[in-house]
């Protein structure tokens, strides 16, 4: 049961590995980017989970005062930054995919490789 109680971490690990698999194994550039986003989202989940305290609320002092349990807000702040980084990465990746489609007419890495081998016979 102890392991089930940590299910958030298990989800994070499964997401992490799913994303990683997609990045490594898929040859389509968009699918790779989806994997990359999943991979990053798993880490976000891990951070949020570790900041959570059982029964804890948002760290805001109320007029009532007294003893209150707060969840740690810092991991959430960190992840806010990391999400921005993740979005920028995905946006830049998609921009590269669009440019690749314009130049090569395909976003399959195998086909791109074939085109490159075809053209790079003598030049550069």
- Kindly list the residues in this chain that would bind other proteins in the complex (CB under 8 A): 20, 23, 29, 32, 36, 39-40, 43, 46-47, 50, 75, 78, 81-82, 85, 88-89, 92-93, 96-97, 99-100, 103-104, 109, 112-113, 116, 120, 123-124
CB atoms within 10 A of CB 72: 13
Q: Which is nearer to other proteins, 42 or 63 (CB)?
A: 42
- Residue 57 beta carbon to other proteins: minimum distance, rounded to whole angstroms: 19
- Residue 81 beta carbon to other proteins: minimum distance, rounded to whole angstroms: 6
For residues 29 and 109, the answer to whether their CB atoms sit within 8 Å is yes
Q: Break the chain down into helix, strand, coil percent, rounded to 5.
A: 70, 5, 25
Q: Which is nearer to other proteins, 14 or 96 (CB)?
A: 96
3-class secondary structure, 124: coil
DSSP state of 58: -
Q: If you count DSSP H runs as helices and E runs as strands, how many of each does the chain have, helices first?
A: 5, 0
Q: Which is nearer to other proteins, 68 or 108 (CB)?
A: 108
């Amino acid at each position: 049961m102890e392991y089930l109680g940590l299910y958030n971490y298990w989800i994070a690990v499964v997401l992490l590995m799913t994303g990683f698999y997609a990045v490594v194994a898929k040859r389509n550039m968009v699918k790779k980017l989806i994997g990359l986003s999943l991979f990053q989202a798993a880490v976000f989940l891990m951070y949020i989970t570790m900041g959570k305290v059982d029964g804890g609320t948002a760290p805001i002092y109320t007029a009532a005062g007294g003893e209150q349990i707060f969840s740690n807000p810092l991991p959430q702040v960190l992840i806010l930054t990391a999400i921005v980084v993740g979005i920028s990465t995905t946006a830049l990746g998609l921009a590269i995919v669009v440019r690749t489609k314009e130049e090569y007419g395909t976003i399959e890495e195998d086909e791109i490789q074939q085109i490159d081998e075809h053209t790079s016979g003598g030049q550069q």
